[in-house]
């Protein structure tokens, strides 16, 4: 059945990209998106996006989503990451303390065509490769490597039972041992060892004195916002009150001691994001992050989420795609009712998801290694994305569509190269708009 789909959507047609005549202005898309963000943080977002075409791509998921909405698709749907670029893959420790490698950002997750994720990931490898000094030919080869890995992994998964697919995970140590470049392999092993040890210190965010543990400010990106603290405390309280009994028993042993706001990522800058320090009576601590969830940008071309709370959309998507998910994943909302209220800048009507604070340095091992071993990293990301897609999609049909040759990989390489050029043009126009005050925060 998957092979038959090639007649209605040939794999070679996946290579095509040409901006439509009525293409929306990327600057205008970002301007509209900024209306739902904390205005004082928009300059931080734009500063991060203007660094390079790759950082622009990271912050412009809404732009690419609208472009993909205009393109023909295979019809094979999966739970999509939605913002699938190489920096949104990384490592984290499982509940048992075993480091695993997986997708680690789901703010835009939604049911969507499988190729959207592959195309966005491929574009990120072209831009990152060029930024690292690779030739256009070598950058294009990265996409081919990633796509072939995706194809080969999907073929493997198609021969497994649904339960076997669901339980399949990528052990980071094992993945590193498969790297072909010995220098990159040695560096990755050293980074992993060092950062697992550093993670035990709560990432330098917690201090303790006679009054007990508290969170450290690191202005201007980690700081207290007294006028918004009550909103977050109430949202945390609502999260705890709605947890299932087995998790509530554990959470009741901790009390919320401190709250601090943190600016994260590029595309997420301007959304509410805070860290809660929870502590037992004798000072044992745990950090939880609460992060705002807005409507997925993929709704530009995919059916809307069935969930009223966007936090539930994010949590559900993460649980579907990740082989090992955070025990504390949950969703909540601020004090206004969900559905009809327009979010305001004080937090009313906003929807959130909650998770353990992840160690950004542990998560960044892949990206750090990628600077020297992009080809090994491309192979690993392709393998990881296929495993994530197979958990919700029909692996046999996707595999049948992909085939066993390089047809799909060649199409992805051609598309990614063309869309990377489009992104560079959009980035230049974005920088020009900043310089002329067209994107100034109100």
Tell me the mean pLDDT in the region 378-387: 96
Is the pLDDT reported for residue 411 higher than 50?
A: yes
Residue 122 in contact with residue 415, Cβ under 8 Å?
Answer: yes
Residue 279 in contact with residue 255, Cβ under 8 Å?
Answer: yes
Is the pLDDT reported for residue 337 higher than 70?
A: no
Tell me the mean pLDDT in the region 151-162: 97
**Residue 167: which residues within 8 A CB-CB, separation 6 or more?**
323
pTM: 0.92
Is the pLDDT reported for residue 83 higher than 90?
A: yes
User: Between residues 358 and 19, which one has the greater pLDDT?
Assistant: 19
Helix, strand, or coil here: 290?
A: strand
User: What confidence tens digit (pLDDT) does each residue in 275-307 have?
Assistant: 999 999 888 899 999 999 999 999 999 999 999
Is the pLDDT reported for residue 200 higher than 70?
A: no
Q: Which helix (H) or strand (E) holds 222?
A: strand 222-223
User: What confidence tens digit (pLDDT) does each residue in 134-143 have?
Assistant: 999 999 999 9
Tell me the mean pLDDT in the region 183-189: 81
For residue 335, what pLDDT is reported? 64
Report the helix count and the strand count for the chain, using DSSP H and E.
18, 12
Mean pLDDT, rounded, of the chain = 89
DSSP 298: G
The Cβ-side half-sphere exposure at 271, using a 13 Å CA radius, reads: 21
In DSSP notation, 142-196 reads HHHHHHHHHHHHHHHHHTS-HHHHHH---BHHHHHHT-S-HHHHHHHHHHHHHHH
Is the pLDDT reported for residue 347 higher than 60?
A: no
Query: N- to C-terminal Cα distance for the chain?
Result: 52
Sign of the alpha-carbon torsion through 392, 395, 398, 404? positive
| Alpha helix stretches (DSSP H) within 242-358 | 245-251, 310-321
Q: How far apart are CA 144 and CA 157, in angstroms?
A: 20
Q: How far apart are CA 251 and CA 265, in angstroms?
A: 28
The domain limits of the chain are 5-199+363-435, 205-361
User: What confidence tens digit (pLDDT) does each residue in 210-246 have?
Assistant: 778 889 988 888 888 888 888 889 999 999 998 999 9
Percent of the chain clearing pLDDT 90 (strictly above): 65
| Least confident among 81-90, 314-323, 340-349 | 340-349
Q: How far apart are CA 109 and CA 302, in angstroms?
A: 11
């Amino acid at each position: 059945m998957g092979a038959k789909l090639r007649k209605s959507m040939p794999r070679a047609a996946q290579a095509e990209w040409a901006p439509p005549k009525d293409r929306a202005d990327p600057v205008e898309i970002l301007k509209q998106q900024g209306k739902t963000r904390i205005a004082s943080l928009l300059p931080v977002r734009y500063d991060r996006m203007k660094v390079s075409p790759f950082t622009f791509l990271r912050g412009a998921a809404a732009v690419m989503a609208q472009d993909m909405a205009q393109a023909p698709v295979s019809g094979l749907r999966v739970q999509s990451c939605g913002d699938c670029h190489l920096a949104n893959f990384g490592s984290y420790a499982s509940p048992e303390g075993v480091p695993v490698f997986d997708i680690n950002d789901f703010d835009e997750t939604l049911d969507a065509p499988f190729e959207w994720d592959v195309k966005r990931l491929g574009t990120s490898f072209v831009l990152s490769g060029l930024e690292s000094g690779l030739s256009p030919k070598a950058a294009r080869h990265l996409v081919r490597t990633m796509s072939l890995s995706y194809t080969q992994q999907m073929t493997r998964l198609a021969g497994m039972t649904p339960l076997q697919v669901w339980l399949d995970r990528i052990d980071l140590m094992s993945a590193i041992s498969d790297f072909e470049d010995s220098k990159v392999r040695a560096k990755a092993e050293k980074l992993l060892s060092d950062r697992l040890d550093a993670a035990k210190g709560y990432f330098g965010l917690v201090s303790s004195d006679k009054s007990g543990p508290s969170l450290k400010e690191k202005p201007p990106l980690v700081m207290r916002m007294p006028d918004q603290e009550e909103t977050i405390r109430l949202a945390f309280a609502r999260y705890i009150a709605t947890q299932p009994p087995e998790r509530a028993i554990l959470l009741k042993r901790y009390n919320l001691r401190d709250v601090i706001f943190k600016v994260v990522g590029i595309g997420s800058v301007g959304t509410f994001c805070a860290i809660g320090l929870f502590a037992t009576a004798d000072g044992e601590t745990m950090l939880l992050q609460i992060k705002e969830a807005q409507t997925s940008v993929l709704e530009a071309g995919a059916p809307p989420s069935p969930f009223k709370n966007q936090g539930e959309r994010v949590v559900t998507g993460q649980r579907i795609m990740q082989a090992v998910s955070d025990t504390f994943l949950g969703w909540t909302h601020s004090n206004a009712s969900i559905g009809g209220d327009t979010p305001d800048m004080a937090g009313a009507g906003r929807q959130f998801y909650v998770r353990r604070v992840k160690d950004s340095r542990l998560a960044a091992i892949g990206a750090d290694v990628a600077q020297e071993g992009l080809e090994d990293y491309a192979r690993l990301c392709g393998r990881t994305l296929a495993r994530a897609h197979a958990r919700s999609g029909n692996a046999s049909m996707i595999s049948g569509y992909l085939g066993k040759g390089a047809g799909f990989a060649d199409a992805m390489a051609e598309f990614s190269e063309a869309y990377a050029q489009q992104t560079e043009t959009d980035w230049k126009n974005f920088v020009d708009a900043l310089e002329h005050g067209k994107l100034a925060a109100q």
